[in-house]
Amino acid sequence: MRRILLVVLPVFLALGCSRQPQPHVGEWETEIYGKQEYVMRGKNYNFLENGDVQWVSIFMNQPQSVVIGKYKVDYSKDPIQIDIKWESGKSEYGIIRFIGEDKGLMEMKTSPEINERPTKFAEDSMLLTKKVKK
């Protein structure tokens, strides 16, 4: 039994250390466009590996506000599905896709407070740029 542990334990440790987070994990700067005109900027999503999400408002000359919730992403669906349940009780059901080889852009389309998930991306989809840590 002891020999088995000595052989198996390093394999499990190596697998655990080399695991890469899913592409959605990280801090994302948001831009929303509608009908070819700029609509909103100044909100960031921060998707944590543990399923927590923070929506941070960072508008100039205003105090920063943070909305907290839980999310689930289903990579087995096409397009990829995301569900967000905010602490306020509101929910969003959406789809996401990654753009570029480095997956540094994420497009997200959500439908708030209804049980009907969007099936395609549209003019008012959010474009999120992954923030690189310096």
Please give the model's pTM, rounded to 2 decimal places: 0.73
pLDDT, tens digit (0-9, with 9 covering 90-100), for 35-79:
555 555 567 899 999 999 998 886 666 777 899 999 999 999 999
Asked if the structure places residue 12 within a domain, the reply is no
- pLDDT on residue 7: 45
Domain with residue 47: its CATH number is: 2.40.128.490
Q: How far apart, in Å, are the Cα atoms of 105 and each of 56, 67, 127?
A: 18, 22, 7
| Count of the separate structural domains present in the chain | 1
Left (φ > 0), alpha (ψ -120 to 50) or beta: where does 42 sit?
A: left
Structural domain for 124, as ranges:
23-130
Asked if the structure places residue 2 within a domain, the reply is no
